[in-house]
């Protein structure tokens, strides 16, 4: 068995019955659009969480993780309720709760998705456990249903008011594709995405500034969007198009809500435009849209930070086709679309820019569109 299996054996002293893995994701474009009924275009990455699981007869759940050595959380499956347990173990314990699974089990987690970098380490954990217990206890839930239930875990058990993009990506992604997810229509489309075939690389530049979605900023943005929709008389900001914006600006009469609305409305349009540019192989246009999306995320949604802005400016000056902050914001990582031969020069430029400003060194690595959640052993 791979590493979660080894953790399982070391901590619990016997062999797990199965091992499941689920990936983190990079969101190519479409930020804070998912909970506004909008469009997103993410892809799964090779970094993933693994869950090694074995059933227990006594209705207890025991949770451990390679990333939190020495901690074992034990709780009765009938005693699961939001807030119990708290902390990272809630991402595991909240899964049987949302799946209405009444069987006990031992589970060990090991993850290579960096935490707090905007690459959805939380969905990776949620989804690895979800496909594992769904299969082990023959719960018979579809991938789409698992996505809905694990979003419920994150929203109602962990208490983070996130949308559903991350779970959809982790559960439905396929190699070589991004997923165009239309939340309002509840449809997904696999969009061929092959930067390597065009001599390009998607580089992640993790600023090492950490975010926390259950914290205030994400929640505040979500409420501002909901308040804007309420004032505009639409169920969600997806109901406003770019053509509607001038009128919406007049109706909102509030600078902050105007900015938030403008970001979401133009971002939905950029997702469509980027999917169109991809289908025509217009990589230069893809890059421009990424950079436009960053400006909107930074200036209208005000969810960036200086370290990520410096990364974006530096990679653009060093020849990237485009770059933007990816994920929930307030820290985390930028992605850059770069020519394969420019990768090391661009990495050097970011390292120099960070060091000259006294920032902590950025962590940089290439990502490629990878498979969704699957059984490993
Ligand atoms: C986090 C959330 C997603 C989405 C993004 C922002 O990753 O989990 O649902 O809202 O932020 O696009």
Domains of the chain: 3-190 (3.30.230.10)
Q: How many CB atoms lie within 10 A of CB 175?
A: 12
Helix residue spans in the chain (DSSP H): 3-12, 90-99, 121-136, 143-152, 165-172, 216-232, 245-252, 255-279, 283-299, 306-317, 343-356
Q: What is the pTM of this model?
A: 0.97
Judging by DSSP bridges, how do beta strands 104-111 and 177-182 pair with one another? unpaired
Atom index in ligand 1 nearest the CA of residue 35 equals 10
Compute the distance from residue 76 Cα to the ligand 1 centre, in Å: 31
Q: How far is C-alpha 327 from the chain's CA centre?
A: 6
18 lines ligand 1 (CB under 6 A): no
106 lines ligand 1 (CB under 6 A): no
The reply to whether 37 belongs to the active site is no
Compute the distance from residue 341 Cα to the ligand 1 centre, in Å: 31
**Per-residue pLDDT of the chain in tens (377 residues, 90 and over written 9):** 459 999 999 999 999 999 999 999 999 999 999 999 999 999 999 999 999 999 999 999 999 999 999 899 999 999 999 989 988 999 999 999 999 999 999 999 999 999 999 999 999 999 999 999 999 999 999 999 999 999 999 999 999 999 999 999 999 999 999 999 999 999 999 999 999 999 999 999 999 999 776 669 999 999 999 999 999 999 999 999 999 999 999 999 999 999 999 999 999 999 999 999 999 999 999 999 999 999 999 999 999 999 999 999 999 999 999 999 999 999 999 999 999 999 999 999 999 999 999 999 999 999 999 999 999 99
154 lines ligand 1 (CB under 6 A): no
Q: What is the pLDDT of residue 211?
A: 77
166 lines ligand 1 (CB under 6 A): yes
Atom 8 (ligand 1): residue with closest C-alpha?
162
Q: Which helix (DSSP H) or strand (DSSP E) does residue 105 occupy?
A: strand 104-111
Residues 6 or more apart whose CB falls under 8 angstroms from that of 183 comprise: 33, 34, 35, 36, 37, 38, 39, 40, 163, 164, 165, 238
Secondary structure class of 361 (helix, strand, coil) = coil
Compute the distance from residue 151 Cα to the ligand 1 centre, in Å: 11
Secondary structure class of 337 (helix, strand, coil) = strand
Compute the distance from residue 72 Cα to the ligand 1 centre, in Å: 29
37, 166, 206, 342: the active-site residue: 166
Atom index in ligand 1 nearest the CA of residue 123 equals 8
Q: Ligand 1 test: best mutation among 161, 162, 331, most atoms within 8 Å of CB?
A: 162
> Among all chains, which residue has been given the structure tokens 């949604």?
301
35 lines ligand 1 (CB under 6 A): yes
Q: C-alpha angle 152/118/30, rounded to 5°?
A: 80
Q: What is the pLDDT of residue 214?
A: 60
Compute the distance from residue 162 Cα to the ligand 1 centre, in Å: 6
* CA separation for the pair 54, 201 (Å, rounded): 39
307 lines ligand 1 (CB under 6 A): no
Q: What is the pLDDT of residue 1?
A: 47
Q: What is the pLDDT of residue 2?
A: 59
Q: C-alpha angle 343/171/118, rounded to 5°?
A: 45
Atom index in ligand 1 nearest the CA of residue 27 equals 12
Atom 9 (ligand 1): residue with closest C-alpha?
163
Compute the distance from residue 123 Cα to the ligand 1 centre, in Å: 10
Q: C-alpha angle 114/118/120, rounded to 5°?
A: 70
Atom 2 (ligand 1): residue with closest C-alpha?
162
Compute the distance from residue 326 Cα to the ligand 1 centre, in Å: 9
- Is 309 within 8 Å of 298 (Cβ atoms)? yes
122 lines ligand 1 (CB under 6 A): no
Q: What is the pLDDT of residue 86?
A: 87
Atom index in ligand 1 nearest the CA of residue 165 equals 9
């Amino acid at each position: 068995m791979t590493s979660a299996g080894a953790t399982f054996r070391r901590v619990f002293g016997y062999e797990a019955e199965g091992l499941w893995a689920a990936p983190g994701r990079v969101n190519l474009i479409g930020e804070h659009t998912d909970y506004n009924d909008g469009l997103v275009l993410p892809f799964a990455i090779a970094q993933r969480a693994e869950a090694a699981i074995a059933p227990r007869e006594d209705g207890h759940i025991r949770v451990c993780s390679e990333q939190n050595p020495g901690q074992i959380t034990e709780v009765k499956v009938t005693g699961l309720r939001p807030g119990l347990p708290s902390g990272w173990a809630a991402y595991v314990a909240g899964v049987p709760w949302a799946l209405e699974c009444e069987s006990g089990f031992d589970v060990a987690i090991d993850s290579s998705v960096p935490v707090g970098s905007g690459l959805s380490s939380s969905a990776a954990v949620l989804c690895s456990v979800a496909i594992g217990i769904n299969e082990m206890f023959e719960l018979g839930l579809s991938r789409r249903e698992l996505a809905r239930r694990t979003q419920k875990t994150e929203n109602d058990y962990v208490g983070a008011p996130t949308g559903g993009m991350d779970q959809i990506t982790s559960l439905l992604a396929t190699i070589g594709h991004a997923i165009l997810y239309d939340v309002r229509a509840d449809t997904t489309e696999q969009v061929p995405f092959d930067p390597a075939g065009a001599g390009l690389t998607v580089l992640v530049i993790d600023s090492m500034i950490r975010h926390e979605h259950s914290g205030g900023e994400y929640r505040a943005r979500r409420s501002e969007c909901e308040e804007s929709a309420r004032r505009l008389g639409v169920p969600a900001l997806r109901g406003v198009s770019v053509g509607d914006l001038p009128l919406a600006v007049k109706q909102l009469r509030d600078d902050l809500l105007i900015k938030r609305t403008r970001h979401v409305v133009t971002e939905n349009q950029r997702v469509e435009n980027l999917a169109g540019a991809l289908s025509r192989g217009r990589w230069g246009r893809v890059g421009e849209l990424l950079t436009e999306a960053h400006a909107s995320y930074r200036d209208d949604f005000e969810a960036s930070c200086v370290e990520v802005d410096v990364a974006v400016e530096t990679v653009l000056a060093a020849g990237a086709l485009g770059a933007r902050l990816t994920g929930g914001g307030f820290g985390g990582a930028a992605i850059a679309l770069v020519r394969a031969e420019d990768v090391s020069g661009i990495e050097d430029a970011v390292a120099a820019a960070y060091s000259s400003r006294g920032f902590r060194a950025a962590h940089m690595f290439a990502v490629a569109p990878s498979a969704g959640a699957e059984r490993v052993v």
